[in-house]
Amino acid sequence: MAFQQDPYGFFDEYKPKDTSQPVQLNLGFRRFFFCYDPQHAQHILQEQKHKYDKSSLVLKKIKPLSGPQGLIQLTGDDAQRVRQTSTKLTNNAGMDRLVQKVEGFVQELFPLIDRSIEKNEAVDLVPHLTRIVLRTAGVFVLNHDLISESDKLNAAFVDLNRKAGESLRSIAECPFSPAKKRSLNTIHAELDQIAEEALKDDEPSLLKALTNRGEDKSFVRDQLKAFMFAGYDTTASSLIFATYLVAANQAVQSRIASEAVRIPEMNYEGLKSSVFVQSTYKEALRLYPSAYFLPRETNQDDVVGGVKIPKGSQVFLSVRHIQRHPEYFERPDEFVADRFINGLKHPFSFLPFGGGPRICIGMALAKLEATLVLQKLCERYEMQAANPEPPEIEALITAHTKSPLPVFFKRRYS
């Protein structure tokens, strides 16, 4: 019941003082194990990965969002094929093109921010950051700027994320009543229409790459849906948190700005070499991971931290707690922007994108867009968060920010 009411708080409540053993809970015939330790993450995601599949319980709940054939649901050769196709799109040329696109999207925000300065008003950045992320996902997945469809698609995806979150917390196996299918139909209709048009041009995209490989139309649509679902609310939420943390910290902003002016050329290499903004974004992901738990299921018996985990058990890694583990992070609850410049004490203590063979396929893209947005904003403006508290979280299938992010701006250089 605690999990149903508040899955985010649930992980807090059941966290043991000593994390060396997983916590076991039984619900009916189902066995659940909750892991809070980087050692367990390493064991499950890497050392004994062959004993763990993705959780069938969670996969079933998100099937309508990811599509039955979407990468999230796939295994074996099918998964490998889609992962390879997607990875090819993130070569240097592909990423340079995305840098230019994202830079353009951020610049479109400047007139609105400049007007807010004249009027001495705060800007709620949530809808603007969300739109930038959705438009970037549109370019990567479809080579289509979703500017006119972004609000409609955003509402549909958030609605589905919420339905999936509710369904994860309920016993019911089929939460998608006809009324709830409305959002799904909106997404299908939009994607189909855009895909038909987008295939006519020659620019690279996931859609184009998969179609050129001769993949079946319904298989391709499931990939588009899976990538949009997995990629955009997660990135938007993490960018909103990162912007809040930066907007509440003047010294961090000026350091991001001075790092930005030292980049000789604004391209992917330049962005990757901006170590401070990279570290700042990672720190935001450490404190507020969008994917706050990693769900797995044992396909054979295993032992973790001395505890026997029988075949068929659900094993949930609490990413948020692992990333605030006091043994591996000094002052674990504090925002320390340059924390990641010197690396990690434990390779599995930082898992915002998962780990092992099914690590997030969009990790480079998420980092590119979030760090670029932060850099562009700080280069031109000083920011002041209007609220002292971080945005509120709604624990859906991923952690979704539900409150506004009002920020006051000032031009950095006259």
Compute how many residues bind ligand HEM; rule: CB under 6 A.
Answer: 25
CB of 365 to ligand HEM, least distance (A): 4
For residues 282 to 321, the per-residue mask of contacts with ligand HEM, x marking binding by CB under 6 A and - elsewhere, is --------xx--x---------------------------
Nearer of residues 19 and 238 to ligand HEM, judged by Cβ? 238
**Buried residues in 170-191 as b, exposed as e (16+ CB within 10 A):** eeeeebbeeebeebbebbbebb
Q: Which of 130, 167, 183, 235 binds ligand HEM (CB under 6 A)?
A: 235
Among all chains, which residue has been given the structure tokens 């000026």? 254
Q: State yes or no: residue 230 binds ligand HEM (CB under 6 A).
A: yes
Q: State yes or no: residue 95 binds ligand HEM (CB under 6 A).
A: no
Give the helix/strand (H/E) hosting 245. Answer: helix 217-247
Question: Interacting stretch for ligand HEM, rule CB under 6 A, among 111-119, 150-158, 226-234, 382-390?
Answer: 226-234
CB of 323 to ligand HEM, least distance (A): 12
Q: State yes or no: residue 140 binds ligand HEM (CB under 6 A).
A: yes
As given in the structure block, the two tokens for residue 384 are 């002041």
Q: Which of 38, 352, 390, 391 binds ligand HEM (CB under 6 A)?
A: 352
The one-letter amino acid code at 339 reads R
Nearer of residues 225 and 255 to ligand HEM, judged by Cβ? 225
CB of 356 to ligand HEM, least distance (A): 7
As given in the structure block, the two tokens for residue 269 are 């290499």
Q: Which of 22, 165, 362, 391 binds ligand HEM (CB under 6 A)?
A: 362
Of the candidates 250, 246, 239, 249, the residue with the CA atom closest to the CA atom of residue 352: 239
Among all chains, which residue has been given the structure tokens 């705060």? 122
Give the helix/strand (H/E) hosting 401. Answer: strand 399-401
Q: State yes or no: residue 374 binds ligand HEM (CB under 6 A).
A: no
**Buried residues in 206-242 as b, exposed as e (16+ CB within 10 A):** bbbbbbeeebeeebbbbbbbbbbbbbbbbbbbbbbbb
Nearer of residues 368 and 383 to ligand HEM, judged by Cβ? 368
Q: State yes or no: residue 72 binds ligand HEM (CB under 6 A).
A: yes
Q: Which of 270, 305, 332, 354 binds ligand HEM (CB under 6 A)?
A: 354
Q: State yes or no: residue 83 binds ligand HEM (CB under 6 A).
A: yes
Q: State yes or no: residue 243 binds ligand HEM (CB under 6 A).
A: no
The one-letter amino acid code at 62 reads I
User: For 263-301, what is the HEC assignment?
Assistant: CCCCCHHHHHCCHHHHHHHHHHHHHCCCCCEEEEEECCC
- Beta strands (DSSP E) in 57-186 are 123-124
- List contacts with ligand HEM (CB under 6 A): 54, 71-72, 79, 83, 140, 226-227, 230-231, 234-235, 238, 290-291, 294, 352-354, 358, 360-362, 365-366
